[in-house]
Structure 1
Amino acid sequence: MIRPARAGDAAALSDLAVATFFETFVEGFGIPYPPADRDAYVAEKLAPAIFAARIADTDHGVWVAEQGGVAIGFAVAGPCGLPHADVATGDMELKQLYLLRSAQGLGLGGRMLETALGWMEARQPAAIWIGVWSGNLKAQRLYTALGFEKAGEYQFPVGSWRDEEFILRRPASRG
């Protein structure tokens, strides 16, 4: 089941974000983040207060994927904050979309993506943007199939560590 996040979900979403960060980037892709950088990233970007603020902000959409009442995935969308000269006021960004490894392959990721994209498209942005790690070829292929094109690159901070990220953009729907 996918549902909009509620205020009481902030701590669970923080825990889920930390778990999926480690599963995806540390274990899955084997990025050797120094522990101090991982800890700084978790404290600064994945804290319950971050999720609480986004849930409360009507400019953001936050969704929870649940199985048996337990949160197993989440998505966050909102105003584009990517460092690109062409980002315009009103542009939207898929900020996060993660599932626990044990929940992958159930179709929930695709449904969460459809939910987030539909929410952003309803706001009629000039463009929808996504930042994706340069080594995540599977995600890049998916986003390309959905009409996103590479628009640039930037250094994504994880503490003092820097990941090479691609900036993808899809123009506004004209239908």
Structure 2
Amino acid sequence: MENIEIRKVVPNEIDQLQKIGIQTFLEAFSSENSEENMNSYLEKSFSTQKLKTELKDKNSEFYFALENKTVVGYLKINLGQSQTEIKEENAIEIERIYVLKEFYGKKIGQLLFEKAMEISRQKKVDYIWLGVWEENLRAIHFYQKNGFVVFDKHIFKLGDDIQTDLMMKLLLKE
């Protein structure tokens, strides 16, 4: 744990971002989804062009978790109009927290989450929200443990498969 560094991703690290994004998504979801749907989603969501655009967006931020200078996980947050749905100025969306499977249980996801919390406090937002696949019980439990509650559902398309995400939020101000 003590040798985990969390730092902002810079534009010239796009290859590392693409690699960790694809690898962690495959590890998390390939066993429950078809190869065609996984490939379709990965090509769209982790294309070099899409990542370049996201890295340039002042309302989206990526952070790497590094162990001994090796990327083992990452966080993506969105503010304002870059949020995928709610788009409120007083909220931050955690779009992604992913960690390599071999590092599960080492509290790296928690460190990335705490980074999102730190940013949320700096920006003085009222709440943090996210969408999580209803079948991803490990992630749902993680967010519930951190105080998130389900407030809605939305549709998530993985290739041609229609899936349901639970929308969860954590109020930071009453």
Class of the TM-score when normalised by the shorter of the 2 chains: 0.7 to 0.9
Deviation at 1:164, TM superposition (A): 1.6
Equivalents in 1 of 2:127, 2:113: separation in Å? 16
Instruction: Answer yes or no: is the 8 Å Cα contact 1:61–1:116 preserved in 2.
Output: no
Deviation at 1:141, TM superposition (A): 2.0
3-state SS of 1:51 partner: helix
Alignment match, 1:64: 64
Equivalents in 1 of 2:68, 2:171: separation in Å? 37
Alignment match, 1:5: 9
Q: Structure 2 unaligned runs (5+)?
A: none
1:168 aligns to 2:171 (yes or no): no
Alignment match, 1:32: 33
Alignment match, 1:149: 149
Q: Structure 1 unaligned runs (5+)?
A: none
Question: C-alpha root-mean-square deviation of aligned residues, in Å?
Answer: 1.8
Deviation at 1:92, TM superposition (A): 1.2
Deviation at 1:91, TM superposition (A): 2.0
Instruction: Answer yes or no: is the 8 Å Cα contact 2:26–2:38 preserved in 1.
Output: no
Deviation at 1:74, TM superposition (A): 0.6
Please identify, of 93-102 and 118-127, the stretch whose mean Cα deviation from structure 2 is larger: 118-127
Alignment match, 2:84: 81
1:117 aligns to 2:117 (yes or no): yes
TM-score when scaled to structure 2? 0.86
Equivalents in 2 of 1:43, 1:170: separation in Å? 31
Deviation at 1:54, TM superposition (A): 2.6
Deviation at 1:90, TM superposition (A): 3.6
Equivalents in 1 of 2:117, 2:145: separation in Å? 14
Equivalents in 2 of 1:73, 1:112: separation in Å? 8
Equivalents in 2 of 1:50, 1:124: separation in Å? 28
3-state SS of 1:81 partner: coil
- Show CA shifts across 1:29-79 (max 9, x none): x3132x332222111112233333232222122101112322111100012
Equivalents in 1 of 2:96, 2:132: separation in Å? 10
Alignment match, 1:16: 20
Percent identity (aligned): 19
Question: Where has structure 1 moved over 6 Å in runs of 4 or more?
Answer: none
Instruction: Answer yes or no: is the 8 Å Cα contact 2:133–2:164 preserved in 1.
Output: yes
TM-score when scaled to structure 1? 0.86
Equivalents in 1 of 2:75, 2:102: separation in Å? 17
Given the superposition, is the C-alpha separation of residues 50 and 90 from structure 1 closer, same or farther in structure 2, using an over 3 Å criterion?
farther
1:108 aligns to 2:112 (yes or no): no
